[in-house]
Each structure stands twice: as structure tokens, then as C-alpha cells.
Amino acid sequence: MVGGGGREHALCWALQRDAPSTTLFAAPGNPGTAQLATNLPIAVTAIDELVAAARAQRVDFVIVGPEAPLAAGLADRLRAAGVPVFGPSARAARLESSKAFAKEVMAAAGVPTAGSRTFTDVNQALTYIDAHVEPLVVKASGLAGGKGAVVCETRTAAAATARAFLTDGTLGAAGREVVVEDFLEGEELSVLALTDGERIVILPPAQDHKRLGDGDTGPNTGGMGAYAPVGLTSPALLARVRREVLEPTLRAMADRGAPYQGVLYAGLMVSAEGVPNVLEFNCRFGDPEAQVILPVLPPGVTAGLGAIALGSWRPELGVLAPVGAAVTTVLAARGYPDKPETGAAIEIPTDLGEDVVVFHAGTTVDAGGVLRATGGRVLNVTAIGATVRDAARRSAAAAERIRFAGKQYRRDIARREIARAGAA
């Protein structure tokens, strides 16, 4: 398992749940994965060392969690070294690492998405923005850790954002190319599918919460919580996503000589008419979406990750129905997302209850054995239950009981879904 966040802890947990005798290595892992795997102190971007470790440990296959190593070609390097890997090649990962490329593929393949233009020249971008209706969206094309997409209420704000990315280089290389996109209305839905490039299995969709504060207020973050399943999902909608988004995209990638293998994550804006417009593609499991999708998968699905890596995947179903519900609440450090404080000592009660799993995201164990916060998003408190309402209640209750100085979290994860279920 390459990675050291909540997503990778959740993946280790799901693999172990499905196949308790699995031997796992995590690089670099975290104190959470250490309970399930042997952590190897190798950074996710240290490609040579990762390849060497995979060979030295004679692993059956590698799962790459985060996008950066995929974009940097880790999957290619592992394959070249004869190590089976779950995750796309660098060329296929461009669906995430270049929004300009993703837009080009979608336009060519007829995938529903917002109208857009791509720019590297600031003056051309400003001229286009000047004639655009409000609101509009300005996106850095490259990987920007969730900071690259800015919804702008006004042309003035959009112009300022374009200047910041293109002229001031506030996001470095990621912002040297920008996509200016039409604003779309609707409801967001994250649809993740496993694929070997040909076959597609759609996982139970999830919804995440990007804003820091309750009621979707405050700054954008990497994600403050998520839940699955989502009531908006219907068999008809997923059939449309398969037919209009996933199949044409995979075909287009194969036609370009960059067949896509791994998990393809479509961030959708579903219109009132039910059109699944693609806002973005990700080339890996979402974080924190994985922390709710994996717990509601039917038993045994994670074996598919290895089968995809090995080229022997023959799934029986095209869509997986969720088993129960899961809600995760992200506990973040004081100052997140701008300037997260590190070092706070963490106390996790041992009696959080059945079906509450605390995934580690930004933690370390210090020399004295004390668990401490190291990152912006520190822990993901996932509760599994019969319904979203039940899981949300227990996730929130557990989130409250975990203690560290400066803890920030949202108390309204899945509130909208619960209101919808209540109204239904």
C-alpha cells in the first residue's frame, strides 16, 4: 500500500477485513496502518525506493493510494519491474493531473461536462473571462491538492484568480495552465468505479463535504466528511454514468494508447434533469470518500484490486449495491486548512462503540509513545450502521469524544441526506 493517509488506512482495513490472512506493507503508512501492516519508511514520491521495496518484499501486487506518485509514473515503473500494480500509468493518470487534458478527452468523447476553454496566456484568459456570464469557475490545470478549483461569483474575482495562477504563480507549475469553466447547478455526487480498462464495476457513490464549517460555510478543504450511500443515486442514474461517462472515457483513453486501469473517480454535478456532468476525474480513491465507500462494500470486493493488478479480473456484477451505510467525520488540526498546527497529543477512547473505526490521516507516535497530530486532517471517524442517520449520529458522537487541543470538525455531516430521507 503506497500512501500514509486516511484513505490508505481504510484500504488496509478493507483488505484485511476481506482476507484476514493478507500480509500487508504500507509505505510510508501511519500509526493506523501499523496496526494492520508493516510500515516501511519510504515517501510516496521516492519511486526508486518503492520499486526496490516491492521487489525485496516479493509482494503479490501494489496499490497506489495518492495521485502524486501515479502522476509521477510509479505504476509504470512497478510494471516495468515486473510488479503487478493497481493504479493507472502516468499517461492515464493525466485524467486527473491535467484538467486541460481531461476536458479535451471529454469533449472528444462526448462526455457531459461544463463548457470551458483552456489558457496559458493571461491576456487571452482575461479577454475570455471579460465576456463570460457570472458566476464562472477558474481551475488550475495541474495537481493542486484541492486548492485548484475556484468558483467565482464575479468576472472580477475570476480575473483575479486567473492572474494569481498564471501571472503570480500562486500554485506553481500546477497553475501555469488554467481552465475557465461554465458554472453548473445541481447536486454533487462522487461515483467511483473499478476498471481494468474494459470491464467496469461501479461502487456505491458517496458525497463529501468540502467546506470547513457547518452548513457548508468557510474555506474549501480537502474534505471534512463524507457519507454513503447517497439517496440521489438510482439505477437509472448509474446506468447513465456508465454509458455517458465511464465507457466513452475508457474507450477514448484506450484509443489514445493510454488504457486506464485502477479506480476511476468521476466527480459529478447531477443536474435537475439528471444529467451527470463531470466536474473532474480523479485517478484514485477519494479521501475521505474511501473511508465510507470501502466499509459499505459487499464482502470480498477488495480481492478485485489484486485481480485487476494481475489481469485476471472477471467481475460478476456491474454495479455494487451498498451494505448498510457509513459516515465519516474528519477531525482537523487547529488552523486547518491555512496553517495547521502540529504536535497536539491525541486521546482516543477505547470504547467508541461497535462499528466505529478511527482511520488515521495525520498522526505520528512520538519517542515517548504518545500519539500526536502531524497533519491538517488528523483522524477520520467512520461509523458504520444500518442507515445514514444512525451512522451519522454515532460518527458525530465518537468525534466529540476523541480529544486533542485545537480539534476542529463538522457536526453536520450527512445532514442534507438525513433531511432528504426524512422527507421521503
- The Cα–Cα gap between 244 and 277 comes to 9
Applying CB under 6 A, the span of 68-76, 180-188, 194-202, 351-359 interacting with ligand AMP comes to 180-188
DSSP 242: I
Does residue number 92 form part of the binding site for ligand AMP (CB under 6 A)? Answer: no
Which positions ≥6 away from 183 have C-beta within 8 Å?
114, 134, 135, 136, 137, 151
Nearer to ligand AMP by C-beta: 53 or 189?
189
Does residue number 275 form part of the binding site for ligand AMP (CB under 6 A)? Answer: no
Q: How long a stretch of residues is the chain?
A: 424
Does residue number 61 form part of the binding site for ligand AMP (CB under 6 A)? Answer: no
Nearer to ligand AMP by C-beta: 211 or 393?
211
Nearer to ligand AMP by C-beta: 18 or 280?
280
- Interface with ligand AMP (CB under 6 A), residue from 137, 224, 245, 283: 137
Does residue number 230 form part of the binding site for ligand AMP (CB under 6 A)? Answer: no
- The Cα–Cα gap between 332 and 264 comes to 27
- The Cα–Cα gap between 236 and 403 comes to 43
Applying CB under 6 A, the span of 182-190, 315-323, 324-332, 391-399 interacting with ligand AMP comes to 182-190
**Helices 122-130, 155-166: crossing angle, 10 deg rounding:** 170
Output the nine-digit C-alpha cell for 7. 484513505
* Contact assessment for residue 295 and residue 326, using Cβ atoms and an 8 Å cutoff: yes
For residue 262, what is the enclosing H or E element?
Answer: strand 262-270
Does residue number 279 form part of the binding site for ligand AMP (CB under 6 A)? Answer: yes
Which residues, listed in sequence order, are joined to residue 86 by a DSSP beta bridge?
A: 63
Which positions ≥6 away from 20 have C-beta within 8 Å?
none
* Contact assessment for residue 302 and residue 15, using Cβ atoms and an 8 Å cutoff: yes
DSSP 57: T
Q: Which amino acid, 362?
A: G
- The Cα–Cα gap between 190 and 203 comes to 10
Nearer to ligand AMP by C-beta: 145 or 298?
145
The residue count for binding ligand AMP (CB under 6 A) is: 14
Nearer to ligand AMP by C-beta: 76 or 181?
181
- Interface with ligand AMP (CB under 6 A), residue from 19, 72, 122, 151: 151
What is the distance of C-alpha 180 from the center of its chain?
A: 23
**CB 19, min distance to ligand AMP, A:** 33
Nearer to ligand AMP by C-beta: 268 or 418?
268
- The Cα–Cα gap between 135 and 156 comes to 10
**CB 316, min distance to ligand AMP, A:** 31
Nearer to ligand AMP by C-beta: 61 or 183?
183
Nearer to ligand AMP by C-beta: 135 or 315?
135
**Helices 247-255, 99-109: crossing angle, 10 deg rounding:** 100
Does residue number 181 form part of the binding site for ligand AMP (CB under 6 A)? Answer: yes
- Interface with ligand AMP (CB under 6 A), residue from 76, 280, 287, 289: 280
Does residue number 188 form part of the binding site for ligand AMP (CB under 6 A)? Answer: yes
Does residue number 140 form part of the binding site for ligand AMP (CB under 6 A)? Answer: no
Q: Which single residue brings its beta carbon nearest to ligand AMP?
A: 149
Instruction: Provide the H-helix boundaries in 189-289.
Output: 235-240, 247-255
Does residue number 96 form part of the binding site for ligand AMP (CB under 6 A)? Answer: no
Applying CB under 6 A, the span of 118-126, 179-187, 315-323, 358-366 interacting with ligand AMP comes to 179-187
Residues that bind ligand AMP (CB under 6 A): 114, 137, 139, 149, 151, 181, 183-184, 188, 210, 267, 269, 279-280
